[in-house]
Amino acid sequence: MAVSRTLAILGATGSVGTSTLDLVALHPERFDVTALTAATQVDALADAAIRTGAKLAVIDDETLLPRLRERLAGSNCRAATGRAALSEAATSADLVMAAIVGCAGLEPVMAALAAGRTVALANKESLVTAGAIMTDAATRCGATILPVDSEHNAIFQCLVGNRSQDVAKLVLTASGGPFRQKSLAEMRAMTPEQAVAHPNWSMGAKISVDSATMMNKGLELIEAHHLFALPPERIDILIHPQSVIHSMVEYVDGSVLAQLGSPDMRIPIAHALAWPERMATPAARLDLASIATLTFEQPDSERFPALRLARSALEEGGAAPTVLNAANEIAVAAFLARRIGFGDIAALVERALGAVGAPPPRSVADVLDIDREARDTVRQLMISLAA
Ligand code: NDP
Ligand code: MG
């Protein structure tokens, strides 16, 4: 029987967060939940905190703290808000599920790494924006980063038992998103509802739009570079619409190892939560005979310029990935709020990359400064777009 581990869930009310909670409920003997966090979904946060017996619940929106206190009255769970409380949550357990969306997750992830924790990392934007600052902190502090993103989790599994110098390249698979077969002209007219309707995966709104623009795969390219220490030219992207092969590793002898499974985030989440063991999930078993056909295509960076922008930001290095990520976050939020069109997202990111000339970040504070500048730049660009 597995020994129980302490677990904190950052972003507990989101898509990854609730899948994590579902798995914890299936394996209560494995986890002792210490802390949960959310941005605004105060009732869902309080319910989950009571259900799991967490000792700390952190809400980002401070106006909701009285409501959280009221909901937790009589329980053993303390309600809190603010950066210090978020860091406290992030360091309260041996295992931290980092499932906040966006750069907002960076500081708590860094706090967990500084405390030498094991971080199950879903929050790819933190690694994209802070890159080597984050991986250096993990190495220095003896922390472990376990990839939860399905592609990176697949690669992590395909690397087990092999030497890193024997890896020839990584192949990140991509479903191609809901607009895989749309023309550029058709894509320009797409609404937020159409963009978030992913063919294979059920996810939060931001990553769903990122999948539609394919910026998600661009962010994942940068994520893979930092997690697996390979140069960009040795990380390929391959369209695979069925999302059955979650990614592959090619070795110097020509062998290719792949990880397969049904497209259900509970599989990579469970892998990270149970690592180095495994635990059962209710995910549908892979039935290859009924799927019958797996297909592959080259990605099209004409129709999906985000792929080209992310690759060049990674090659340029310095502040570029931070600018790319911040500009994308603002542009996606504006698209979801119907303030800009679908095609404007990549266009704004490209213009921000050209406009922000910051020096390479050396600390989290530098990253957050560049992040702010890029966000302001995109907001200004949107004002001129609207004029
Ligand atoms: P969701 O939008 O569903 O959930 C995000 C979570 O973060 C919620 O708990 C939300 O709280 C909280 N949150 C949002 N903004 C802030 C903030 N400013 N400060 C503190 N907490 C905040 O996102 P997903 O679960 O889809 O994605 C989470 C991360 O995992 C992302 O980085 C995404 O790229 C990555 N990922 C997700 C996958 C998926 O299948 N969903 C697959 C692979 C990676 P509230 O609910 O109160 O708003
Ligand atoms: Mg992914």
Sheet holding 167-174, edge to edge: 235-239, 167-174, 245-251, 256-260
Cα–Cα distance for residue pair 277/262, rounded to 1 Å: 20
How confident is the model over 217-229, as a mean pLDDT? 98
Share of the chain above pLDDT 70, in %: 99
* Predicted local distance difference test score (pLDDT) of residue 198: 84
* Predicted local distance difference test score (pLDDT) of residue 385: 81
* Predicted local distance difference test score (pLDDT) of residue 384: 86
**Per-residue confidence at 200, pLDDT binned at 50, 70, 90?**
confident
Please name each of the domains of the chain with its CATH number.
5-147 (3.40.50.720), 149-311 (no CATH), 317-387 (1.10.1740.10)
* Predicted local distance difference test score (pLDDT) of residue 378: 98
**Per-residue confidence at 386, pLDDT binned at 50, 70, 90?**
confident
Ligand 2 midpoint to CA 44 (Å): 25
CA 259 vs CA 27, 152, 153, 171: distances in Å: 24, 10, 9, 11
Burial pattern 162-191, b for ≥16 Cβ within 10 A else e, equals: eeeeebebbbbbbbbbbbbebeeeebeebe
Q: Are strands 235-239 and 245-251 parallel, antiparallel or unpaired?
A: unpaired
* Predicted local distance difference test score (pLDDT) of residue 188: 93
Sign of CA dihedral 172, 188, 317, 143: negative
How confident is the model over 291-303, as a mean pLDDT? 97
Neighbouring residues of 288: CB distance < 8 A, sequence distance ≥ 6: 244
110-131 pLDDT, tens digit each: 999 999 999 999 999 999 999 9
Sign of CA dihedral 161, 269, 146, 280: negative
* Predicted local distance difference test score (pLDDT) of residue 1: 57
* Predicted local distance difference test score (pLDDT) of residue 2: 61
60-83 pLDDT, tens digit each: 999 999 999 999 999 999 999 999
Is residue 352 scored above 90 in pLDDT?
Answer: yes
173-187 pLDDT, tens digit each: 999 999 999 999 999
Ligand 1 midpoint to CA 222 (Å): 19
Ligand 2 midpoint to CA 250 (Å): 19
Predicted TM-score (pTM) of this structure = 0.98
Is residue 387 scored above 80 in pLDDT?
Answer: no
Residue nearest to atom 48 of ligand 1 (CA): 39
Residues with CB under 6 A from ligand 1: 11-17, 38-41, 60, 99-101, 104, 122-125, 149, 201, 203-207, 265
Neighbouring residues of 51: CB distance < 8 A, sequence distance ≥ 6: 21, 25
In total, the chain counts a number of residues equal to 387
